[in-house]
Chain A
């Protein structure tokens, strides 16, 4: 029989493993696409959805995902119509979403704080199960489209000549990012969840010479960042988000040192 506190920690760890691994894996594409800031900014778009969930009494993460999903489709469509980059479009929309979210939360500052920084104590069996199922689906789908996206990045013409619809694959990818960000909010909140998508991949890229090593390391670094952040937060009794970030940055610094040592010795 486990105590309620320990139970929460175990479920929190399960979510950390699922989110850390899938965010790291998915993020490896985002860094290649030069969309690092997109991952970060897109996470803020969830805020109005979280606020609506709190206001109308349904699961805020569902609201957050719906907003992320709609924003991703809208940004993808506007990108095709206007030829503006994802970064420009996300930059234009995320501050608006942030402002609307803060207005909707109004005086409910506790809920706003929870949305911004996450609350691992609320993670139970249901949340952990959903996080694992979504992560498995995200990783499987990402694996399926990974090579197609990379080929599109190398040359859109090469990809198209092989019958790959680069626009459709990008849309699917944005939807997968939305899903991962939505479940990641539980751990780090909307302010910091973008970190999990970007920094593990950046660290992996520094020390990788081939694709399989790159995405494997990115997923592992994401997992280590999330799990060590949760463990430290339990130990120090503080919110996990900032500690997840600090763990990830430590890995990033180590990667830079390894790269530097390799250059010096070669």
Chain B
């Protein structure tokens, strides 16, 4: 991952240019370009297999890629994957969060920040409800105070009420700590309500703009229909 100075790139926290990712000789992401400013929430949308999770993996340097991914300055990046395998592992919430070497006090504080009471701390991860698990994951992501947060389907497996509560909490946490949030979601209502900008991906860039635009039926057809790649002159938020 390359770092660039603020002066080179204004107030942009992330600059992606000509990003192409190939896995087993298949082009998963094709020539993607975008940049985003610090503190905004960007939703990544697109059909299954569009390359959304691969984009996150590239941003975290977990897969080989060509092109440039430039995070500005020395950043802490928090990441929460879509799937965790905790069912067969006897591990408590406290033990899981302490993997990040944070103090017991920090762990209690972060659990309170995500709306979990202190009784949860000694519970086994495998016994948590879907909503509690998602909150623990958010706690995991923010406990070491990241500058940017990458969240893959933040509320998959969570009921509607908990979903709204979790997004509301994410919004206040990111606003309070000026965290730049990139999230993958299939729910366009969530995208409109809780993100500032949306990036539609279908191997290549299909749409980049204000989130409210994704509610337009023509736009949805564009996003989830046959890929029609857009060439934006200056793609930024």
Contacts and interface: CB of A to CB of B under 8 A. Distances in A.
Interface of A: 32, 34, 147, 150-151, 153-155, 157-158, 160-162, 205, 208-214
B122 interface: yes
Contact of B95 (A32, A160, A211): A211
Contacts of B88: 32, 34
B90 A153 contact: no
A158 B89 CA distance: 16
A214 B62 contact: no
Nearest to B101: A147
A150 B83 CA distance: 15
Contacts of A211: 89-92, 95
B86 interface: yes
B143 to A, nearest CB: 12
Interface in B146-171: none
Nearest to A209: B124
A208 B62 CA distance: 33
A209 B94 CA distance: 12
Among B89, B90, B94, find the residue whose CB has the most chain A CB atoms closer than 10 A: B90
B89 A32 contact: yes
Name which of B57, B62, B89 has the most chain A CB atoms within 10 A of its CB.
Answer: B89
B79 interface: yes
Contact of A157 (B81, B90, B92, B96): B81
Given A161-B60, A161-B62, A210-B124, A153 B95 contact: no
Size category of the binding interface on chain B: 20 to 34
A208 B99 CA distance: 19
B92 A210 contact: yes
Interface of B: 57, 60, 62, 77, 79, 81, 83-86, 88-92, 94-96, 99-100, 122-124, 127
Contacts of A162: 100
A224 to B, nearest CB: 20
B60 A205 contact: no
Question: Which of A150, A208, A211, A212 has the most chain B CB atoms closer than 10 A to its own CB?
Answer: A211
Contact of B85 (A155, A160, A205): A155
A210 B62 contact: no
29 contacts: A32-B88, A34-B88, A151-B99, A153-B85, A153-B89, A154-B91, A154-B96, A155-B84, A155-B85, A157-B62, A157-B79, A157-B81, A158-B79, A161-B60, A161-B62, A162-B100, A205-B90, A208-B90, A209-B90, A209-B92, A209-B124, A209-B127, A210-B94, A210-B122, A211-B91, A211-B92, A211-B95, A213-B90, A214-B90
User: Which one of B60, B84, B91 has the highest number of Cβ atoms from chain A below 10 Å of its Cβ?
Assistant: B91
A160 B91 CA distance: 20
Nearest to A206: B90
Given A157-B57, A161-B60, A210 B90 contact: yes
B41 to A, nearest CB: 20
Contacts of B77: 161
B81 A158 contact: yes
A205 B91 CA distance: 11
Contact of A212 (B57, B60, B95, B99): B95
Nearest to B152: A157
A183 to B, nearest CB: 27
Contact of A154 (B60, B85, B123): B85
A205 B89 CA distance: 9
Contacts of B79: 157-158, 161
A81 to B, nearest CB: 14
